[in-house]
Amino acid sequence: MKKKIFLNAFYNLALILCILGAFWAFENKSPLIAIFLIAALAAFLFFKIKLIKELNKEFRQGPPRK
């Protein structure tokens, strides 16, 4: 569980950096870098949504029984 929470925090940080980087690239007229960062943003967003769905499923099931 700790691994997934850390991964979620990493995805949040990556999303923020991609957004800031894309704005920076547009301001500096670097369309290739902006496109790359937007594609990376989409990938991180996809993985974050997948992780959140998985975490919701685990929370609904409750703690694992031994």
Task: Note whether residue 64 is domain-resident.
Answer: no
Report how far residue 47's alpha carbon sits from residue 30's, in angstroms, rounded to the nearest whole number. 26
Which residue range forms the structural domain that includes residue 54? 2-58
pLDDT at 41: 97
Task: Note whether residue 6 is domain-resident.
Answer: yes
Task: Note whether residue 14 is domain-resident.
Answer: yes
pTM of the model: 0.83
Report how far residue 35's alpha carbon sits from residue 22's, in angstroms, rounded to the nearest whole number. 8
Report how far residue 32's alpha carbon sits from residue 11's, in angstroms, rounded to the nearest whole number. 22
Task: Note whether residue 63 is domain-resident.
Answer: no
pLDDT in tens, 24-55: 999 999 999 999 999 999 999 999 999 999 98
Say yes or no to pLDDT of 66 above 90.
Answer: no
The total domain count for the chain is 1
Task: Note whether residue 66 is domain-resident.
Answer: no
- Do 37 and 21 meet the contact criterion of CB atoms below 8 Å apart? yes
